[in-house]
Amino acid sequence: MPKDILKVVLIGDGGVGKTSLRNQFIHKRFTNAYKATIGADFITKEVQKDDNTKVMLQLWDTAGQERFQSLGVAYYRGADACILVYDVNNYSSFQHLGRWREDFLKQSSLPEDEAKHFPFLMVGNKIDIDDRVVSRRQARAWAEQNSSDRMRIPCFEASAKDGTNVEEAFTYIAKMIKVPQ
């Protein structure tokens, strides 16, 4: 794959808002209806990586619901970065991040030295709902524990519904990916 196409995979529990985040970023649209993703698919969008570089982000949306997950893992391979999504109003979706991350690293068959410094970004979604059970501090602590000396995991809190931090999170992950010149 030419390196001006950057493959980014969204993972996390069913219903946390992976599809909604991507829809908000690509189409600036949101729907309250929930239709669980089956398998995985991608949409590509051009983003500004830095002042003079544009890149194509190939955004893979995957299934979070367990019964559909096995159809999705094959799509982890060749990823340049990964977005770990949880719902700030759902504690178990936050607790499962570690499993998602490990599973991703295993399935993507990265060499060990690359796996250690692989770019992950966290998004705590649905902050428009006033029922938060995962604090910013907890999210930051988890990110710190799972960061390496060379690759820090940034934490975003977002709303796919009103668009808060959606553009910011996707643009940030494009900047995190090292592209050979």
**Residues in touch with ligand GTP (CB under 6 A):** 14-20, 31-32, 34, 36-37, 63-65, 125-126, 128-129, 159-161
Edge-to-edge strands of the sheet including 53-62? 40-50, 53-62, 5-11, 81-87, 120-125, 155-157
Binding piece for Mg ion, criterion CB under 5 A, among 23-31, 34-42, 65-73, 78-86: 34-42
Question: Are residues 131 and 125 in contact, defined by beta-carbon separation less than 8 angstroms?
Answer: no
Question: Are residues 88 and 13 in contact, defined by beta-carbon separation less than 8 angstroms?
Answer: no
With vertex at residue 13, the alpha carbon angle to CA 140 and CA 138, rounded to the nearest 5 degrees, is 15
User: Helix, strand or coil for residue 105?
Assistant: helix
Given Mg ion, ligand GTP, none, residue 32, with its beta carbon under 5 to 8 Å by kind, binds ligand GTP
Q: Of the two residues 37 and 159, which places its CB atom closer to Mg ion in the complex?
A: 37
| Shortest Å, Cβ 105 to ligand GTP | 19
| Shortest Å, Cβ 62 to Mg ion | 8
Q: Could you list the residues that contact Mg ion (CB under 5 A)? A: 18-19, 37
